[in-house]
Amino acid sequence: MLTRAIDGYLAVRRAAGFALTVDTGLLHSFARFAADRAETHVQRQTAIAWASRAPSPYQRERRLGMVRRFVAHARAEDPGHERIPRHVFAYRRTRPLPYLFSDRELEQLLAATTRLRPRGSLRPLTYATLFGLLAATGLRVSEALHLVVDDITADGLLIRQTKFRKNRLVPLHETTAAALDGYLVRRHAVAGRELHVFVATTGQPLTYRMINGTFHYLLRSVELQTTTSERPPAPRIHDLRHRFAVRALEGVAGDRDRTAQHVLALSTYLGHAHVADTYWYLHATPHLMRRIADACEVGGAGGTL
């Protein structure tokens, strides 16, 4: 009975556009766990016991959240399912502090790609183009990984079915477009009919593991900024996207309305589901927020903001 109810819930959410690959496996695991206890409805303590089998507090809370969402749906027809409390495992996920790459550090990172082996292969150019594209456009790594040749248009990059199942067009600066075109000429000789833009020396599509591993290998050649008073956060590949967002927000000037319009436009460009996700880049970069506040004061001088 519980499995049938879970399958119905999953079907409804898939119809709404959610993939639910992870949720499907875990909710079926919970159904088997409850069935072993001869339970046909969700019991609070059973759900907590099942979630506690995960190795970390975050994963336990995440599992419990999946059951909680199912219960909220199922109780509309069957109130026999017990409600699931929040924060049982006393864990609140926080975003890691970003590392803001300087222009010099980014230049060093891209220069280091020329020393990648095998020498003379496509690999150095692949990573120079990929990391340059991430820094110049703010794409997510997953979006770059899924790019196919037909997604490169005269108007920019067509990003299909992205993180929030939306399509968007990302315009390219002419220098970025030229670098991408130059890469495609070399890539075609290696990849042949492979549709994906970024490929390994074998001609097969790159994986996230390959990209992330190469990124951290190249970081050894970068003279990262340090401070005597505080240790900076460890750089992550996602910080190339953060750098793009910060550079774009540094162009904000004027009153609050203009600032809000600028942030809204950037939110659309980055493919954020909520504009609050874009404002987070301000809060995570205090000196930038101060600069924008000062600009708003100047722009609003003599009037009411």
Instruction: Report the C-alpha gap between 39 and 204 in whole angstroms.
Output: 47
Q: Please identify which of the residues 163, 188, 216, 283 carries the catalytic annotation.
A: 163
- 44 is a catalytic site residue: no
**Alpha carbon 128 to its chain's center:** 21
Q: Please identify which of the residues 75, 146, 238, 247 carries the catalytic annotation.
A: 238
- 146 is a catalytic site residue: no
Q: Please identify which of the residues 62, 81, 140, 187 carries the catalytic annotation.
A: 140
Q: Please identify which of the residues 63, 68, 196, 272 carries the catalytic annotation.
A: 272
Instruction: Report the C-alpha gap between 27 and 34 in whole angstroms.
Output: 10
Instruction: Report the C-alpha gap between 124 and 110 in whole angstroms.
Output: 9
Q: Please identify which of the residues 9, 183, 269, 281 carries the catalytic annotation.
A: 281
* Per-residue CA distances from 142 to 77, 166, 197, 212 (Å): 38, 14, 12, 11
- Residue pair 84/69 in contact by the 8 Å Cβ criterion: no
Q: Please identify which of the residues 241, 242, 243, 262 carries the catalytic annotation.
A: 241
- 272 is a catalytic site residue: yes
Q: Which helix (H) or strand (E) holds 168?
A: strand 168-170
- 173 is a catalytic site residue: no
The residues annotated as belonging to the active site are 140, 163, 238, 241, 272, 281
